[in-house]
Structure 1
Amino acid sequence: MKLRIPAMRRGLLPAAIVTALSPAIAAAQEQASDATTLDRIEVTGSRIRQASIETAQPVLMIGREEIEKQGFTTVADILQNLTSAGSPAISRGDVLASGENVGGYYVDLRNLGASRTLILVNGKRLGANTTGLQDLGQIPSSAIERIDVLKDGASSIYGSDAIAGVVNIITRTRFDGAEANAYFGQYDDGGGDIQTFDFTVGSTSDRGGVSLSIDYGKEEPLWARDMWYARDGSRGPDFPGAGWSPVSQNGSFFDPVSEEWLTLTPGADPTDPDSYTPLTPDQYANSNEQMMARTGIERRSIYVAGEFDLTDDIRFVSDALYNSRTTTQQVAGYPYQSGSFETPLSGDSAFNPYPGTDLEFRRRLWERPRITENELKTYRVTAGLQGAFEIGERFWDWDVGGSWNRNEMLKNGRGDASLVAARAALGPSFINEDGVAQCGTVDDPIALGTNYGADECTPWNPLQPYGANGPNGLEDPNVQAFLFPEYHDTGLTESTIYTANLSGTLFTLPAGDLGVAVGYEHRKEEGRFVPDAFNQAALSTGLPATTTAGQYSLDEMYLELNVPLLSGVAGAEELSLSLATRYSDYDTFGDTLNNKFGLTWRPTGDLLVRGTWAEGFRAPSIDNLYGGVGGSFERYVDPCGNGPGNVAGNAACTAAGVSPDYVQLGQGLDPCDSFPCQTPYQFLTGSNPNLTPEMATSKTAGIVYSPQWVEGLDLSLDWYSVEIENLIAEDSVDDILTDCYVRGVESRCAGIERDPETGVITMLNFGLTNKGRLETEGYDLGVRYRLPETAYGNFAIDWQTTYVSKHELTADNNPDTVPAPSNSFAGYFRTRSNLTLDWQMGDFGASWTARYYSGMKESCVVTDSFDENYCDQPDYAAPDVPEGLPLRTVGSNVFHDAQVRWSAPWDATVSLGANNVTDHRGPLMFTSPNNQFAYYGGFDVGRFVYMKYQQRF
């Protein structure tokens, strides 16, 4: 019994696909001729093993050769540069991001959210954390053979999460030999060094093979103080000093006599009231001086894959992965405000300039920046049996197996103050007979020391400015040891999956074989994330959080059919219909059934017409269901205040008791002069155990044209549409406020609490809920042309473009609510396009890539600190904002990458290249999209130069 794979006409395949798959196809054909029965091709998006890799679904394949021609070191970086990729879920510039997702690499297709793109490794799910995100950084790039990107919904084939698409990472299985790679890169302004080293060794035989890949990578952080867009403050170099915080590292207190905020004159006596002068803006804190602009990461991984033919009809396959990732974050010292924690400087403190009067103070904890080290260890093992058998003249393929994935997280942090220690350190104190400040009173002293749990105490003088080196200032190591304990968060997730699949041919129709695949899957997800006890009890300046812990399990069955309708007739070289259905039964919300239909029509040998209609879903994650409650200091624009697009004085604001003259208050309860403005109060967000799945409908239609009269040319055009209902969404503060006060959605006002005197928002809950609808629609255009060989070498062109015609969110389930368009707003590009030119001649080669991003718009900021000319669309209006919203627009951007390479005679390849070779700078974006700073988090931050060396043995 032999498996025979029909020959494929190469001219019908895009050049990059042929390049990527030729080794696999050739190996399969060779082994077929040598009597093996196990090498049918399984195309991403279908469980039916088949010879053709062109289906009704749009699949982009990125081969190893193409990967090596890029200057990126991780799978996520490669995928992030696809034109169909949306903004990064957590960019490296989101240095204030917290929780278990920080440090991971995630891909977000179609800007529908990273949790709506499913990640597979060799067709099997990659383990997720409690939030449902799958970290691509776990996969060592040295182990990758190719990457398949299915840009279509596929829940009927793969289950939950496959709404925007599927990324399937195919690893090397029969690698023979050894290979070592070294990569060094650096920004030409210095800093941000990246170095990676990997080694792969493998051996094959007639009956199987095994390969081992070892990777090490380290990326040094970038610092905001060195970056042109961040060094001058939160609004960039055009507005130096904008956004600086009145919570200064020099300390200040509210003078009960002058009713002003005063700060100590340098070198003066801090206990003398006459030593203080009013705090001025030039003494505010530029927190970016202490911030990382990009986090640092160090990774180590080991990947082993093997397969062995037990018989001519049964093969054992297995792989195992270990990955260790350490992410380091640093943000500025905490902006301590005594009023937020009811911890004034006691009137009985030895450092109080007004003895007998408790003082409200503000002091940024500059001497101890907040540093967090997040360690994640991943263990993954898969094993199974694959086989084939023949009934009559029909071949059947089967496989059974299981996979286990475990993530262990330890998060260590220091820099947030213990509130119980701070309360003691700011309480009564006196100067003892040794001339040293001591907590307590002369009659009732508290032992000096740094262990609060042992009833020890060290007084703190919060009015001592940074660098003054006075007694009991924050530079005192004893004060630091007392105030700043170490915090430890832990996390653990496990995913266990068992599968069984069968595919083959039911019978032969006049147009060909009717293919079928059926299967069963059992999956169990378990997870917990346990914040430090201080944060759970809200006893530190860190964000309050509670434990996430829970599990769920499910059983699924699917059926897929491939029905040939016509073949080899006029107007229909091929006409086939694909159908798939999947039944999923969860022990949390119940069951769901999802279907998919696809049509493939080849009117002529060089033209393919394709289309799909699919249902999809995303089940609530463990964090969605059992995540507890957390807190954050959000940045927002109060529509009832003085910010951009305000509606101060309208009926909704008046009903909330807000004066038409209200000025939004920010840190230190000071009036905001730039937006979005950070609240001085913690808002709460949390999970919801009653969530139900998101439900989606996706449609695609497209053509693939490979004209026989132009050899090497492949053209493709695909239309897509995705609509997601019943969204699992964490409300944003801005969305809630806009819905309540601008759009008049009364139900959205219920959780907003304001101070009746000042009008400032003191509490807002923005937890998870099923609400609203998300829709997107657009086109993907692909042009690939491998020119005929010339005397000057081989040339190839690859041009990929995505155009988004619609991307809009409906905030709630009210049918009268007008959708809010996000297309062309910061981070949501209407058009992305990549053009690559490649040249190869003998041992030398070069490539050049231009990455195009269309223009963006954002809510503009008009205050005393900003030039009103930045609002070039002051009268912008949209259906969702009938009263108008002033906007600022910026133009398109193009980043250029270049690489030259040489194949050395000792079987090595040397590559030199630069990403953003022209050192192009994107525009300042004052809304800080996907970033902590006034710059889009997905743009290059400077010219990055690198060298790669590959040695084959």
Structure 2
Amino acid sequence: MQFRKKVDNKLTVAVRLALAVGTFAVVGPAFAQNAGGPAASENEAKKLETVTVTGTRIPRVDVETAQPVVTIDRKQIQNQGFTSVADILQNLTEVGSPPISRANALSSGEDVGGYYVDLRNLGPNRTLILINGKRLGANTSGLQDLGQIPVSVIDRIEVLKDGGSSIYGSDAIAGVVNVITRSNFTGAEANAYVGQYDNNDGKGQSYDFTLGTANDRGSIMASAQYQKDDPVWAKDREFSAYPSGPFHPTAGWSGISQYGSFSGPCGPGGAKATCTLKPGTDPRDIANYQPLTSARYANSNQEMTLATGQERTSLFVAGKYNLLDNLAFKTDFLYNKRDTLQQIAGYPYQSAAFGTPMAATSYFNPLGTTLNFARRGWEVPRTTNSELETYRWTAGFEGFFELGGRSWNWDVGAMTNRNNMLKTGHGDFNLINTEAAVGPSYMGTDGKVHCGTAAKPVAGCVVWNPLLPYGQAGAGSLADPDLQAFLFPEFHDTGKTTTTDYTANIAGTFQGLPAGDVGVAAGIEHRQEDGRFVPDAFNQAGLSSGLAATTTEGKYSVNEAYLEFDVPLLRDVVMARELSIDVASRYSDYDNFGTTTNSKASVKWKPIDDLLVRGSWAQGFRAPTISDLYGGIGSSFESYTDPCDTKSGSAKGNPAVAARCTGGFGGQAAVAANYVQLGQALNPCTTYPCQTNYQFTTGSNSKLTPETATTRTFGVIYSPHYVEGLDVSLDWYKIDIKNVIAQDAVQDILDDCYVAGIASRCSGFTRDPANGVITNMFYGLTNKGWQKTAGYDFGVNYRFTIDSIGQFATHWNTTYVDYLNVKADDNPDTTVQPLTGYGGNFRTRSNLSLDFTRGLFGMTWTMRYYSGMTERCSYVTPAECNDIDHVDPFNGAQAQRHTGSTTFNDVQFRWTMPWKGVISVGANNVFDKQGPIMYSKPNSSFVYYGGFDIGRFYYLKYSQRF
């Protein structure tokens, strides 16, 4: 079922027309004329030479290695219609659920606005990002922002789908993404790109200019890029316009609304109720109040961004100078500035939570006694503006020398990467000023209400009447700009991280075995990570309604050395056209936790020319980040499902859980037999997971040790000589991670206590004995449990030509996840939790792309397939809960909902003009497909998977070479 509001505009109409013309231009002439020859690519090999493929330091002639590597070349990037590296990588089937904060409006940490890649659904900080084989700098949480890399300078992207710690060190557990920039570029190139959604929003634009020259003495290239993406508002899509989606448009609204409320005698016959002012009446008279009903609840989605807007400016300069025939100096510089603005609804203020009630002597108080109130700051939405500046510079020497008749390559270099961040928040209350604004007040002789008393006025204070509804004029209205300035200052968080890296490498061959030369590479590295994140002083002191946090600050250094051998065992014998083994080991000495050694062995076997068999075994690790080790204390309003909830929790279908809840298990307060979880404003939850009314606390751990991992792969590549241009591959992978660094998740703590019956886990939180609500919890970082995944990657690439029609290239890539399992701790009784198929952990992802070229015309059609998903039933009705009797070992009887698969289609048409210009027109999600509603909100702030398309997106691009 589609939920779209169709809005025609000049751009979409123009692109639709161009798409129709493009279809005729490409397909129509195909049967009337001969195809022209393919144009030579800038990156096409001119001669046989060695290359170093990601995952190894040894140069080779053959790019097919014992490790699975996916390469995305510049032509493929141009044919996809994307303007960021993250968008390109997100379309790989091996990439998991998107940890892209641009799609999560509630993300407000130092990752705001960043683009991150998550291979194998193992987390973005378990994928290492490189630029030309060197690390990209990270924030204090270890996240590397791919958005810093301008697309205009990319030659290709290589993705190692294997452990890489034996070559690159920490973080390369799920794999490595190596962005390789263009070299020896000569001439000039300009690109202009504009696009927007069919709904007339989310406009994107990108402009870049690249200039370069190269000769025998060296080369230099400079590229500048400007990119801007306008926000998309949640209210403009039916699937995100309501907290619980379009099928339940009134569910999940908040009782802390823009109309103001308090507990008082406004019910029938003066009974106690939650009171709110009748429209247009005097707020000082209790007779003008009525009981709050759901008609006056707040739909906070109406004020939220669905996709955050951002603006980026980039400059990249690279140069190489040949000092001698065998000695060169290389350097590059990257500057990137990111400016991101995201928004959520005004703060749901509850005076009782902060000890700031309306004073009994407030001019606006209708009771004449101290009064606790609730009022959402609807007039002032909460915004987060994040500015990040990146400076990255590398410099070094490289060369070669002859030894024993063989050439050896060497390089020495240095890299520094500095990120400076300023995060400005607006919309949280200044608690000091709020207390004054709702404190004593009086009507002055000037006819205005003032803070304090007539005998003792409070200078500089602006009065607030939190019981005055949004849209109603009157004294103390939150619409008053002076009051907004008084209550809502800007809060400034600052951050800075610096990565400094020194490396030296050498690689070559020496004669060793009858099957061929033995390749060898060795190197040393010294790296230092230094970072700090300083929240605003008000937030540190707990003087704002924002999430309390303290400073993160620390540094560490590591000295490393590695050694790699590529040993040929057999060549040109029966059943062994080639057989070789590659072994590598890396020693790392950290100044905080100590040493670790990680090794790898991989085998490459070609029994016949058409068939390659490969396999690998690798150790890996992830060192604790600065934030893991030296982070401050932070807090957040978490969402969870209380196991003791008799409506949707485990107690509903598990008698043992119910008994622990009502019996006060683990020293906790007992809950009632009919207990229902209470959410914001202490109202019964209607959707799950449900957000708590209280801030929970989390923090770092300076005694953390590294995660460890073992990766195994086995695969085959079949390239039949009788079908020219066809390659078929199948790879199996298995990754086991132990000693996982993880937050003691709120849900895990509660499930361990009540579901698994681990009494020691019950001491981490406190329940209010009066109503059963969990009022506080600490869930800090620790090493615990494990995470395991296994699956298959299948690929078909086929390039062929039909003389009377044109050139075709077909790419079909599929990833099937056998399992993705998590064990929350090391207790043998803890149940293993399967994640495959739940939320954004798809069982199967598959992409099929067909590229067609005929003379000056070309087109690309891509299909992106996602398998169905599973979640708990939020609404147990036949229409939305199709597995009501489901029982699983983790939660017992728990009704589930299974959704169908989703396929998106993209199309692009291209015309190469005689003056070296290329015009491209396309549409992503050309059929305006919408994915299923998901009430578990996977990787999103909405009931929609955060990685799915949010509409049909048209774009137009022009490229010009000079």
Task: Report TM bin, short chain.
Answer: over 0.9
Offset, 1:789? 3.2
Question: What does residue 441 of structure 1 align with?
Answer: 453
User: Are 1:820 and 2:833 an aligned pair?
Assistant: yes
Question: What does residue 414 of structure 2 align with?
Answer: 402
Alignment of 1:701-740 (within 5 A): 701-740=714-753
Amino acid at match of 1:438: H
Amino acid at match of 1:418: N
Question: What does residue 660 of structure 2 align with?
Answer: 652
Contact 1:645 1:884 in 2 (8 A): no
Question: What does residue 930 of structure 2 align with?
Answer: 921
Counterpart secondary structure, 1:738: helix
Q: CA RMSD in A?
A: 1.4
User: Take 1:603 and 1:788, find their aligned partners in 2: how far apart are those partners?
Assistant: 29
Alpha-carbon spacing, 1:847–1:22, altered in 2? closer, same or farther (3 Å): closer
Q: Which residue of 424, 427, 436 maps to 2:439? A: 427
Q: Deviations over 1:705-727 (max 9, x none)?
A: 10000001000000000000000
User: Take 1:363 and 1:541, find their aligned partners in 2: how far apart are those partners?
Assistant: 13
Counterpart secondary structure, 1:211: strand
Question: What does residue 170 of structure 1 align with?
Answer: 180
User: Take 1:56 and 1:96, find their aligned partners in 2: how far apart are those partners?
Assistant: 42
Offset, 1:24? 5.2
Q: Which residue of 141, 166, 178 maps to 1:156? A: 166
Alignment of 1:299-338 (within 5 A): 299-338=312-351
Question: What does residue 14 of structure 2 align with?
Answer: none
Counterpart secondary structure, 1:787: strand
Question: What does residue 63 of structure 1 align with?
Answer: 73
Counterpart secondary structure, 2:802: coil
Using the size of structure 2 for normalisation, the TM-score is: 0.93
Offset, 1:871? 1.8
Q: Which residue of 2, 14, 26 maps to 2:45? A: 26
Contact 2:254 2:680 in 1 (8 A): yes
User: Take 1:742 and 1:674, find their aligned partners in 2: how far apart are those partners?
Assistant: 21
Counterpart secondary structure, 1:459: coil
Question: What does residue 632 of structure 2 align with?
Answer: 628
Alpha-carbon spacing, 1:871–1:477, altered in 2? closer, same or farther (3 Å): same
Aligned identity (percent) is 57
Q: Which residue of 104, 112, 128 maps to 2:138? A: 128
User: Take 1:645 and 1:363, find their aligned partners in 2: how far apart are those partners?
Assistant: 30
User: Take 2:80 and 2:310, find their aligned partners in 1: how far apart are those partners?
Assistant: 20
Contact 1:91 1:938 in 2 (8 A): no
Question: What does residue 849 of structure 1 align with?
Answer: 862
Contact 2:67 2:602 in 1 (8 A): yes
Contact 1:20 1:62 in 2 (8 A): no
Contact 1:349 1:428 in 2 (8 A): yes
User: Take 1:24 and 1:199, find their aligned partners in 2: how far apart are those partners?
Assistant: 19
Question: What does residue 181 of structure 1 align with?
Answer: 191
Question: What does residue 903 of structure 1 align with?
Answer: 912
Amino acid at match of 1:908: G
Amino acid at match of 2:453: T
Contact 2:318 2:332 in 1 (8 A): yes
Offset, 1:617? 0.1
Gaps of 5+ in 2: 1-37
User: Are 1:944 and 2:953 an aligned pair?
Assistant: yes
Amino acid at match of 1:580: A
Offset, 1:244? 0.5
Contact 1:56 1:610 in 2 (8 A): yes
User: Are 1:378 and 2:390 an aligned pair?
Assistant: yes
Which is further off, 886-895 or 645-654?
645-654
User: Take 1:884 and 1:174, find their aligned partners in 2: how far apart are those partners?
Assistant: 63
Alpha-carbon spacing, 1:409–1:27, altered in 2? closer, same or farther (3 Å): farther
Question: What does residue 226 of structure 1 align with?
Answer: 236
Question: What does residue 89 of structure 2 align with?
Answer: 79
Contact 1:173 1:307 in 2 (8 A): no
User: Take 1:422 and 1:879, find their aligned partners in 2: how far apart are those partners?
Assistant: 49
Equivalent pairs counted in the alignment come to 912
Contact 2:786 2:824 in 1 (8 A): yes
Question: What does residue 427 of structure 2 align with?
Answer: 415
Contact 1:577 1:600 in 2 (8 A): yes
Offset, 1:50? 1.8
Using the size of structure 1 for normalisation, the TM-score is: 0.94
Contact 1:644 1:859 in 2 (8 A): no
Question: What does residue 32 of structure 2 align with?
Answer: none
Question: What does residue 21 of structure 2 align with?
Answer: none
User: Take 1:879 and 1:756, find their aligned partners in 2: how far apart are those partners?
Assistant: 30
Counterpart secondary structure, 2:523: strand
User: Take 2:90 and 2:687, find their aligned partners in 1: how far apart are those partners?
Assistant: 31
Q: Which residue of 196, 199, 206 maps to 1:196? A: 206
Question: What does residue 360 of structure 1 align with?
Answer: 372
Counterpart secondary structure, 1:932: coil
Q: Deviations over 1:669-689 (max 9, x none)?
A: 111122111111000111110
Q: Which residue of 782, 786, 801 maps to 2:814? A: 801
User: Are 1:884 and 2:897 an aligned pair?
Assistant: no
Counterpart secondary structure, 2:651: coil
Q: Deviations over 1:566-610 (max 9, x none)?
A: 001111000001100000000111000000000000001111000
User: Are 1:507 and 2:526 an aligned pair?
Assistant: no
User: Take 1:868 and 1:22, find their aligned partners in 2: how far apart are those partners?
Assistant: 56
Amino acid at match of 1:720: Y
Offset, 1:98? 1.1
User: Take 2:835 and 2:761, find their aligned partners in 1: how far apart are those partners?
Assistant: 20
Q: Which residue of 779, 795, 808 maps to 2:792? A: 779
Question: What does residue 553 of structure 1 align with?
Answer: 557
Counterpart secondary structure, 1:217: strand
Contact 1:406 1:493 in 2 (8 A): yes
Offset, 1:440? 1.2
Counterpart secondary structure, 2:829: coil
Contact 1:376 1:408 in 2 (8 A): yes
Q: Deviations over 1:417-453 (max 9, x none)?
A: 1011101111111111112111112222212xxxxxx
User: Take 1:640 and 1:723, find their aligned partners in 2: how far apart are those partners?
Assistant: 33
Contact 2:358 2:439 in 1 (8 A): yes
User: Are 1:602 and 2:617 an aligned pair?
Assistant: no
Question: What does residue 752 of structure 1 align with?
Answer: 765
Contact 2:108 2:384 in 1 (8 A): no
User: Take 1:21 and 1:821, find their aligned partners in 2: how far apart are those partners?
Assistant: 49
User: Are 1:97 and 2:115 an aligned pair?
Assistant: no
Amino acid at match of 1:175: F
Alpha-carbon spacing, 1:20–1:264, altered in 2? closer, same or farther (3 Å): farther
Contact 1:91 1:937 in 2 (8 A): no
Counterpart secondary structure, 1:330: strand
Amino acid at match of 2:386: N
Amino acid at match of 1:83: T
Contact 1:20 1:146 in 2 (8 A): no
Contact 2:101 2:111 in 1 (8 A): no
Offset, 1:650? 2.3
Alignment of 1:7-26 (within 5 A): 26=45
Alpha-carbon spacing, 1:22–1:845, altered in 2? closer, same or farther (3 Å): closer
Q: Deviations over 1:477-518 (max 9, x none)?
A: 121111111111000000000000111113331000011111
Alignment of 1:258-297 (within 5 A): 258-297=271-310
Amino acid at match of 1:144: I
Contact 2:650 2:893 in 1 (8 A): no
Offset, 1:556? 0.3
Question: What does residue 570 of structure 2 align with?
Answer: 566
